[in-house]
Every structure is written in structure tokens, then in C-alpha cells.
């Protein structure tokens, strides 16, 4: 295993331990969107790991997801 891989593995291990120790509270565990743009109805996006990376090709909904998340607090809508 290369040095970089060992460092990443150690970081992942530390982050998992921190999550189990509730050191990231409060944080989003999941968000459900009843209806938003081209998402499937009642789409549930889970954030199970302490670090979430959103990747994908152009036009796959990355920006739409971020816009929808910005409207998630306090039952706001992205239009507000």
C-alpha cells in the first residue's frame, strides 16, 4: 500500500471514529424531496459517511441537488 493510500485509510478510520463518537452532531443524515425538478418522487438522499462528495457528468442533477439542499432547512423552498 502506498503512503497516500495509508494516509487516506487512516483519515477514513479517524472520521468513522469521530462519527461514532457523535463529534459531528448536528449534521444531516438524510434529506427527502417529495417533488423537485427531475428527481424521482420522494427521492431520499442519505449522508451516511461524515464526508459526502457529489460527482457526476454534466446535466445529471448535481447543481439541482445543491439547490434543493439549500431550501431544506426550516421547511424553506429553493424558490425562497
Strand-strand pairing, 30-33 and 43-46: antiparallel
Contacts of 37 (CB under 8 A, 6+ apart): 61, 64, 68
Is the bond into 70 cis (omega within 30 degrees of 0)? no
Q: Are 22 and 29 in contact (CB under 8 A)?
A: no
Max CA pair span of the chain? 49
> Does the predicted model carry a pTM greater than 0.85?
no
pLDDT averaged per 10 residues, the chain (length 80): 87 87 78 83 83 88 85 62
Residue 40 per-residue DSSP state: P
Amino acid at each position: 500500500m502506498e503512503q497516500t493510500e495509508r494516509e487516506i485509510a487512516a483519515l477514513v478510520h479517524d472520521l468513522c471514529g469521530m462519527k461514532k463518537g457523535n463529534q459531528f452532531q448536528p449534521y444531516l443524515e438524510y434529506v427527502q424531496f417529495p417533488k423537485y425538478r427531475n428527481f424521482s418522487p420522494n427521492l431520499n438522499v442519505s449522508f451516511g459517511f461524515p464526508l459526502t462528495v457529489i460527482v457526476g457528468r454534466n446535466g445529471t442533477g448535481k447543481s439541482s441537488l445543491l439547490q434543493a439542499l439549500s431550501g431544506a432547512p426550516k421547511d424553506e423552498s429553493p424558490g425562497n
